[in-house]
Amino acid sequence: MNVNRRVQTLDEFTIQQLRDFPQATGELSHLLRNIGLAGKRVHVEVNKAGLVDILGDAGTINVQGEEVKKLDVYANDQFTRVLQHGIACAGIASEELDDFVPFDDAKSVKSKYVCLFDPLDGSSNIDVNVSIGTIFSIYRRVTPIGTVVTKEDFLQPGNQQVAAGYIVYGSSTMLVYATRRGVNGFTLDPSIGEWTLSHPDIKCPEQGKIYSVNHGNFFQYDKAVQDYIATCQKKDKETGGPYTQRYIGSMVSDVHRNLIKGGIFMYPGTTDKPKGKLRLLYECNPFAFIVTVAGGKATNGKIRILDVEPTELHQRSPFFVGSKLMMEELETYLN
Ligand code: AHG
Ligand code: MN
Ligand code: MN
């Protein structure tokens, strides 16, 4: 029998990385494995979304006052439960839950990490068969091991992230995660249910040709943002402009594409919503971390997203993220 052993699984990869750190306990690998497990369960449901009665509204409104879809609820439950039953997570915070959830059982209080997530990103795209995703952010707790986690464990600036990642449920399902050592992408082989390393050591091209923004809000953006968008539309030999506009409305898919191909994604503040729409802790910070490790940049328009000191679990932030040179060009307008 000819067994293909060129394939490296997520577990093999994370354990191999650990070998360089003799003091490591393996908890982070375990946590990533559990995120992968919850992701596989969501993948299964996403793929039959058109077949079963899982479409449509759950009939409830979340803390943000938004409609909750059944798949949002399902994904939130999966990630929460899988992490609660694992041995590496001391508590979670989620877009779908008003407050953080400390895991106060004897096993969990001894765990090192907390995890914040957006269980289903781009949920307005569920009903129309367009790619959606999950976003996660992992911190080492700041309170002592053996105690129940508190809010300060969750309100850490993004520069303290130990790891961050996302899952995109697209034409294939992919899990991409970053640690300070690099960004790696794993494609789910649905025939065997394994995450397999398909995109090792992802680097974001310094210059791309794509800009992603909601043009419908154009007249609500600051002049600086409007001027930058106009620049994206101009012919420019040096930058390769005019850029191509691409906006899916699932940030996971939009930023994933721009990370691989090079590009810039923007969700600026508007006159109606000066802080924009995206949530700092489980939408902006994880992507800021991933793209920065891959060589790109992320800002809220004033400072690096990763250096923002959070004050609330669900706080929003303007968000600009992408290829280094494109971000530097944008910054000349914002400053
Ligand atoms: P969520 O589904 O978790 O609420 O997030 C949707 C977000 C993000 O994925 C996307 O980029 C943005 O909303 C789109 O918003 P607009 O429709 O306002 O452009
Ligand atoms: Mn989201
Ligand atoms: Mn969401």
- pLDDT means per 10 residues in the chain (335 residues)? 74 92 90 98 88 61 66 95 97 98 97 98 91 98 98 98 98 97 97 96 98 98 98 93 97 98 98 98 99 98 98 98 98 95
CA dihedral 204, 47, 163, 142 (to 10 degrees): 150
Residue 308 half-sphere exposure, CB side, CA atoms within 13 Å?
Answer: 25
Probe ligand 1: pick from 42, 72, 277, max atoms within 8 Å of CB?
A: 277
**What is the total residue count of the chain?**
335
Name the 3-class secondary structure at 128. Answer: helix
Ligand 1, pocket residues at CB < 6 Å? 95, 118, 121-123, 214, 249-251, 277
Question: Which CATH class name applies to 10-199?
Answer: alpha beta
What would the pLDDT profile of 108-134 be if each residue is shown by its tens digit? 999 999 999 999 999 899 889 999 999
Has this prediction a pTM greater than 0.85? Answer: yes
What would the pLDDT profile of 3-35 be if each residue is shown by its tens digit? 556 789 999 999 999 888 888 889 999 999 999
Alpha carbon distances (Å) from 174 to 135, 252, 289: 12, 11, 18
Sorted by where each begins, the domain ranges of the chain are: 10-199, 210-334
CA dihedral 70, 173, 122, 102 (to 10 degrees): 60
Residue 194 half-sphere exposure, CB side, CA atoms within 13 Å?
Answer: 11
The pLDDT score that the predictor gives to residue 24 is 85
> Counting atoms of ligand 1 from 1, which one is nearest the CA of 265?
11
Domains 10-199 and 210-334 equal at CATH topology level: no
The pLDDT score that the predictor gives to residue 65 is 63
The pLDDT score that the predictor gives to residue 317 is 98
The pLDDT score that the predictor gives to residue 259 is 98
Non-local (6+) Cβ contacts of 312 within 8 A are 155
CA of 124 to the centre of ligand 2 (A): 10
Alpha carbon distances (Å) from 156 to 104, 139, 177, 198, 251: 20, 8, 19, 31, 22
The pLDDT score that the predictor gives to residue 141 is 98
The pLDDT score that the predictor gives to residue 55 is 55
Nearest CA to ligand 1 atom 19: 214
CA of 249 to the centre of ligand 2 (A): 10
The pLDDT score that the predictor gives to residue 59 is 67
Structure token pair of residue 310: 């959070």
> Counting atoms of ligand 1 from 1, which one is nearest the CA of 66?
4
Asked: is 210-334 a CATH 3.40.190.80 domain? The reply is yes
